């Protein structure tokens, strides 16, 4: 399958005007997060506003997050794209494990880092965040407990808790969920008895003739030159796939409960009006308190907002943070 590079798909975009610096920093649990720091060359970074950017679930910072971070850095923000724990360059064993509390903590740890660096002199009162796909729910989870995150934007957000419990559009029955939970628990016996880790979900490694439209959408991004990236220490066969024994950890993840407590900090939810994930942005918007906005991108699907630069509203994002991190 040839990659669909329409609408300016440019996941690996680089800017001649932006400096990119690999960095790392500790979480409060003393694990290390790998990240990339972005800022304009020759920029006066004194008291600058900053934005933390999180990648889609199962992805790494090189997939979508770096693109958003670069585009916002071009607008004068200090930005940082992160690998959540257990993924990419960040610490955590086993690789590709699911633990939403640590994913959430990575956003607050990035705020810690930004607020203590002499190189960029970030204003501690002017730090925001962007969460793409699953990271939208991790960022919201972080913002509920961390008022230092002053403005929150999501793009193509997935509520990883709801989609694990109920599936897209309530397509998973209670019996199916119970079967998944039992399978993950059985895999724990396998591992404690010395067996190998097994992996589940994620993107198809090979596109089957009967693949669903959602499976094809993800395949076009993750399994072609459009967005394919294999982190050091991983393999193409494992990318995007979480460990089976940990995958049900999302069952107890309820990121939108208490989302109204983020107010009066502003929330911007961005979704394609054709996105299979639009239900999650609608749900979050309905629960959130003002100020809030739900921005629909006409004719746009879920993965379109990962890398299609002609569809992603970068100028709108820039205005949102310029206004709310003023």
The domain that holds 159 is classified in CATH as 3.40.50.1820
Position 103 pLDDT exceeds 80: yes
Contact by Cβ (8 Å): 90, 61: no
pLDDT of residue 121: 80
Q: What is the C-alpha separation between 57 and 46, in angstroms, rounded?
A: 33
- Looking at the domain assignment, is residue 240 inside a domain? no
- Sheet order of strands, 32-40 included: 18-26, 32-40, 78-82, 48-54, 122-132, 149-155, 267-272, 292-297
Residue 26 CA to its chain's centroid (Å): 19
Q: Indicate whether this model's pTM tops 0.95.
A: yes
Element (H, E) at 290: none
Look over the chain and give the mean of its residue pLDDT values, rounded to a whole number.
96
Strand, helix or coil for residue 308: strand
Residue 214 located in a structural domain = no
b/e for 76-89, b at 16 or more Cβ within 10 A? bbbbbbbbbbbbbb
Distance between CA 29 and CA 99 in Å, rounded?
13
**What percentage of residues in the chain have a pLDDT greater than 90?**
94
Domain that holds residue 70: 18-167+254-324
Residue 249 in any domain: the answer is: no
Q: At residue 171, does pLDDT exceed 90?
A: yes
pLDDT tens by residue, 28-53? 999 999 999 999 998 777 789 999 99
Averaged over 158-180, what is the pLDDT?
Answer: 98
Angle between helices 100-114 and 135-145 (to 10 degrees): 70
**Residue 118: predicted pLDDT:** 74
CA-based nearest residue to 139, from 216, 220, 51, 200: 51
Angle formed by the axes of helices 65-73 and 314-324, to 10°?
Answer: 60
Mean pLDDT of 8-36: 97
Phi, psi (5° rounding) for residue 269?
-105, 125
For residue 126, tell me if it sits in a domain. Answer: yes
Where would I find the H helices in the chain?
A: 65-73, 100-114, 135-145, 160-166, 174-192, 213-222, 278-287, 304-307, 314-324
Say how far residue 217 (Cα) sits from the centre of its chain: 17
d(CA 242, CA 298) in angstroms, rounded, equals: 32
- The pLDDT confidence band at residue 3, using thresholds 50, 70 and 90, is confident
Evaluate whether 243 touches 98 at the Cβ level (below 8 Å).
yes
Instruction: Give pLDDT, residue 267.
Output: 99
Q: Is the residue at 285 inside a domain?
A: yes
Mean pLDDT of 87-113: 98
Residue with tokens 């439209």: 213
- Distance separating alpha carbons of residues 64 and 56, to the nearest angstrom: 7
Confidence label for 4 from pLDDT (cuts 50, 70 and 90): confident
Q: How far apart are CA 25 and CA 69, in angstroms?
A: 18
The two structure tokens encoding residue 96: 């590709």
**Residue 212: both structure tokens together:** 């669903």
The yes-or-no verdict on residue 1 having pLDDT over 60 is no
**Is it the case that residue 2 has pLDDT exceeding 70?**
no
Would residue 274 count as lying in a domain? yes
pLDDT > 70: what percent of the chain?
98
What stretches of 54-212 show up as alpha helix (H) in DSSP? Answer: 65-73, 100-114, 135-145, 160-166, 174-192
How many domains would you assign to the chain? 1
Q: What is the pLDDT of residues 219-268, one digit of tens each?
A: 999 999 999 999 998 999 999 999 999 999 999 999 999 999 999 999 99
| CB distance 105 to 48 below 8 Å | no
Q: Quote the tokens at residue 173.
A: 């029955």
**Predicted pLDDT at 119:** 65
In a domain, residue 11? The reply is no
Asked if residue 136 has pLDDT above 90, the reply is yes
Q: What is the pLDDT of residues 297-310, one digit of tens each?
A: 999 999 999 999 99
| Residue 187: inside a domain | no
CA distance 316 to 304: 16
């Amino acid at each position: 399958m040839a990659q669909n590079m329409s609408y300016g798909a440019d996941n690996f975009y680089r800017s001649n005007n932006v400096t990119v610096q690999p960095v790392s920093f500790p979480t409060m649990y003393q694990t290390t997060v790998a990240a990339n720091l972005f800022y304009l060359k020759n920029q006066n970074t004194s008291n600058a506003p900053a934005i933390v950017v999180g990648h889609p679930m199962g992805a790494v910072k090189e997939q979508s997050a770096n693109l958003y971070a670069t585009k916002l850095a071009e607008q004068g923000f200090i930005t940082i794209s992160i690998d959540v724990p257990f993924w990419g360059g960040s610490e955590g064993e086993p690789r590709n494990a699911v633990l939403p509390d640590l994913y959430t903590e990575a956003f607050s740890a990035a705020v810690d880092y930004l607020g203590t660096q002499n190189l960029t002199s970030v204003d501690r009162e002017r730090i925001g965040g962007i969460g793409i796909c699953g990271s939208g729910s991790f960022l919201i989870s972080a913002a509920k407990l961390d008022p230092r995150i002053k403005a929150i934007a999501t793009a193509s957000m997935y509520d990883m808790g709801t989609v694990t419990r109920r599936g897209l559009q309530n397509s998973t029955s209670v019996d199916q969920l119970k079967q998944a939970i039992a399978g993950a628990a059985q895999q724990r016996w396998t591992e404690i008895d010395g067996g190998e880790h097994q992996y589940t979900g994620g993107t198809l490694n090979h596109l089957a003739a009967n693949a669903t439209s959602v499976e094809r959408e993800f395949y076009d991004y993750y399994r072609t030159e459009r967005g394919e990236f294999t982190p050091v220490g991983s393999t193409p066969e494992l990318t995007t796939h979480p460990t089976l024994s940990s995958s049900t950890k999302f069952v107890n993840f309820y990121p939108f409960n208490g989302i109204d407590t983020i107010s009066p900090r502003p929330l911007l939810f961005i979704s394609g009006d054709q996105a299979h994930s639009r239900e999650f942005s609608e749900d979050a918007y309905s629960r959130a308190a003002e100020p809030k906005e739900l921005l629909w991108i006409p004719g746009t699907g879920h993965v379109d907002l990962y890398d299609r630069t002609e569809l992603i509203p970068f100028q709108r994002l820039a205005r949102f943070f310029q206004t709310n991190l003023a």
